[in-house]
Amino acid sequence: MMWRALTLFVAIFIAAPGLTARAADTIKVAYTDPLSGPFAEVGDQNLKQMQYIIDYINARGGALGKKFELVSFDNKSQPSEALIALKTVVDQNIPIIMQCSGSNIAAALIDAVEKNNIRNPDSRVVYVNCGAVATELTNEKCSFWHFRFDANAAQKAEILVRALPEDVKKVYMLNQDYLFGQSLQRDVKTYLAKLRSDVQVVGDELIPLGKIKDFSPYVTKIKAAGAQALITGNWGPDMSLLIKAGMDAGLDITYYTLYAHLGGGPTAIGPRGGGKVFVVQPFNENISVETGNKDLEQWTSDFRKTHDFDFYAAGFRTIFEFIQAGFNKAGSTDPTKFAEALEGLKLTDMLGREVTMRRDDHQFIGEYFVGIFSKDVKYDSEKTGLGWKTVKTVEGNEIAQPTTCQMKRPSS
Amino acid sequence: MEVFLVTLLNGLVYGMLLFMLASGLTLIFSMMGVLNFAHASIYMIGAYLAYELSRHLDFWAALVIAPILCGLIGAAIEMYGLRKVHRNGHLAELLFTFGLAFIIEKAVQMIWGLVAVPYRVPSALDFSLFTIYGTTFPAYRAFMLLISALMFVAIWLLLTRTRIGLIIQAALVHPDMVGALGHNVPRVFTIVFAGGSALAGLAGVIGGNYLVTEPAMAFTMGPIVFVVVVFGGLGSLEGCFIASLIIGLVQTFAVVLDVSLADLLARLGIVVTATTPFAEILTVRLPRVGALLPFVLLVLILLFKPRGLLGTRDT
């Protein structure tokens, strides 16, 4: 009697996840990022911004008559944890897994998704990459099931190098010692050699990811090298602690960054950083003011009413609009049909520009902005009194770099 | 020269912070033989308590109250936890403190969340004290040096000039004999554990806003503190002091010394190219492996002088 009850109990337990997925009237989107550990703030803020965006998309009908539902998984910045999350995603028949923070995790996911989709053609998953930008992921490591919705390191490196003023002759490079940091290090040097051969790289540093809490020794080195500008792809605490140490020490340089606008960055820069910090960003809340886009401005400023940090990832709305359009075009939630619908898709984004999910390598091609930390803005960042002001707009076709991807498409 | 001086100062600050943490652990480890894995967790509790207290009161209140609270927590752990586990041996005590470290980490995550809390340097100390070769030295770092120096002097005076200090010193080296002489060794243990925890709490108060206050800070600082304790040697507070400074300076200087083994070999006339065997290891620059160096030192000291620098006894 007890064994039968036990078996019944176990059977229900195993069947339950499958039941909920099939019977649900929502389309689930899985999201994995560090929600604990040194990068917890990045994952946590991404999650909240995505939830706000999904509410907007659902208010506009969602896709296929169903609403989207976000399911989050903490990967603790470990590829192994991300793969465990992927296993759960596959078991629950969730069609999409999104991930933004950590190219090492992205590389592991691309591999695992590729293998899963070959071995389990009935439980396929599409990997939507919202921020892992190591260049290799849409070149040597490209995959049909991977869609990258952020400019890659090589594209951002080109934007950074083009943004360097003429009078800067000595730059110091500092990056995180993993796939992305090494990718950016290599790409910045390539573009410096190509576009600014007058610039000398006086320092080239790789730091362990998420471990350094006190950057003052590095600031000492940067000063001793006589650098005029610091180029860094650091994100999370590696960015905010670096800039904090630089500001505390009164370091007289300009910072050219990719991620100084994420949570914690503006606070670390502080009021002393006006005019000294540049960032390459897909969006900032002052662009709608600069372009006179009242609806967008209303939507992004409403975010501030219910959240105590900037809506720096408002650009994720473009990603979800692509997902919405992809499902509607495919006519079903079948991952294979969705992927086939998504590649090559062109949309008009919330700033009114045409953006593409390039078919050759599944790289997003769209506009990017160079912002400077300035007092002269309507929306300030993290209550510092200063915010991001656009100094340069780079159109998508200006950074549509060639790719070495040889994509293998599924035969079915 | 400027790089040397600035790095020296920064290394000293970091080394003194390590000393504050490690001194409590050395005392506890030397006296009771307990490798207290929860020591760095009490450091974390000190930082979080200081954050809360400086929000509702101010930083100076936190500076006094938080270490006292941590001392009380330490006393409670010792009296109601370790004392009961003690009869099962050292391994049981170790596992108990190990489990405690995890429980404390989860409790902190549940109470204050997974994300780092904005525990900041008080505005009264947030200015630059002096400028050395164009780099400003924040006043807060000088404050940290001051507090750790005062603390070192206070411990030294306590241990050498008071009766309880003499008993503690004796129990550090010959715990059984002290018990045989009729002193209340369990009470001495509790006092030492509470004192060590209070020190860890103080380290948390001043280190939490210098570094980052987050749930992972215990497991980030913990291993380095153990290295310091083993490197300095059991039973010796002076050894702990020297070891903290050495490791603090080594980790800080490693960042600015841009050399690799290949450079050293080049001095001897051996040129390392891309095809030389082990070329990848030989060309790694020191800053990139700086975080490894304390552990390399740990392995070396265990190989050549297992008692540590100034250790007076084995466990």
User: Residues 133..162 of B with a Cβ closer than 8 Å to A: which?
Assistant: 134-136, 138
Residue A14 reports pLDDT greater than 70: no
Q: What is the mean pLDDT of residues A273-284?
A: 94
Question: Which domains, and CATH codes, for chain A?
Answer: 2-152+314-365 (3.40.50.2300), 154-288+367-399 (3.40.50.2300)
Q: Do B212 and A224 touch (CB under 8 A)?
A: no
* Minimal C-alpha gap between B4 and chain A (Å): 9
Q: pLDDT tens digit string along A109-128?
A: 999 999 999 999 999 999 99
Residues in chain A: 412
B212 contacts on A by Cβ (under 8 Å):
38, 213, 237, 241
Q: Residue A208: which of B14, B258, B291 has the nearest Cβ?
A: B291
User: In the predicted model, is pLDDT for residue B313 greater than 80?
Assistant: no
Give yes or no for B223 touching A (CB within 8 A). Answer: no
| Beta carbon pairs, A and B, within 8 Å | 77
- Domains of chain B in start order, with CATH, are 2-257 (1.10.3470)
- Is A214 touching B (CB cutoff 8 A)? yes
**DSSP, residue by residue, chain B:** -HHHHHHHHHHHHHHHHHHHHHHHHHHHHHHH----TTHHHHHHHHHHHHHHHHHHS-HHHHHHHHHHHHHHHHHHHIIIIIHHHGGG-HHHHHHHHHHHHHHHHHHHHHHH-SSPB-----GGG-SEEEEETTEEEEHHHHHHHHHHHHHHHHHHHHHHHSHHHHHHHHHHH-HHHHHHTT--HHHHHHHHHHHHHHHHHHHHHHHHTTS-B-TTHHHHHHHHHHHHHHHH-TT-HHHHHHHHHHHHHHHHHHHH---BHHHHHHHTTPPP-TTSTTHHHHT-BHHHHGGGHHHHHHHHHHHH-TT-SS-----
pLDDT 10s digits, B37-90: 999 999 999 999 999 999 999 899 999 999 999 999 999 999 999 888 888 888
- Supply the pLDDT for residue A23: 43
Residues in chain B with CB shorter than 8 Å from the CB of A241 are 212
- Beta strand extents in A46-125 (DSSP E only): 67-74, 96-99
Q: Do B256 and A216 touch (CB under 8 A)?
A: no
What number is the average pLDDT over the span A216-245? 92
**Residue pLDDT, tens place only, A351-409:** 999 999 999 999 999 999 999 999 999 999 988 899 999 999 999 999 999 999 999 98
Q: Which of A281-290, A304-313, B183-192 has the lowest mean pLDDT?
A: B183-192
Q: With a cut of 70, say whether residue B314 has pLDDT above it.
A: no
- Could you report the predicted ipTM of this complex, rounded to two decimals? 0.80
pLDDT of residue B272: 76
Chain A contact present for B110, CB below 8 A: no
Answering whether pTM is above 0.90, one says no
The vertex-A156 CA angle with A153 and A161, nearest 5°, equals: 120
Out of A44, A216, A267, name the one closest to residue B115 (CB): A44
Interchain CB contact of B210 with A (< 8 Å)? yes
Per-residue model confidence as pLDDT tens digits over B279-296: 778 888 888 888 888 899
The confidence band for A20, taking pLDDT boundaries of 50, 70 and 90, is very low
Nearest chain A Cα to B212, which residue? A213
* Facing B114 at nearest CB: one of A35, A221, A237: A35
**Closest-CA residue of chain A to B8:** A217
Question: Is A272 at the interface with chain B, CB within 8 A?
Answer: no
Average pLDDT, chain A: 92
Q: Which of B116, B215, B252 sits opposite A217 (nearest CB)?
A: B252
- Is B109's CB within 8 Å of A177's CB? no
Hey, is the C-beta of A55 within 8 angstroms of any chain B C-beta? no
pLDDT band at B315 (very low <50, low <70, confident <90, very high): low
Tell me the pLDDT tens digit for each residue of B140-166.
888 999 998 898 888 888 888 888 888
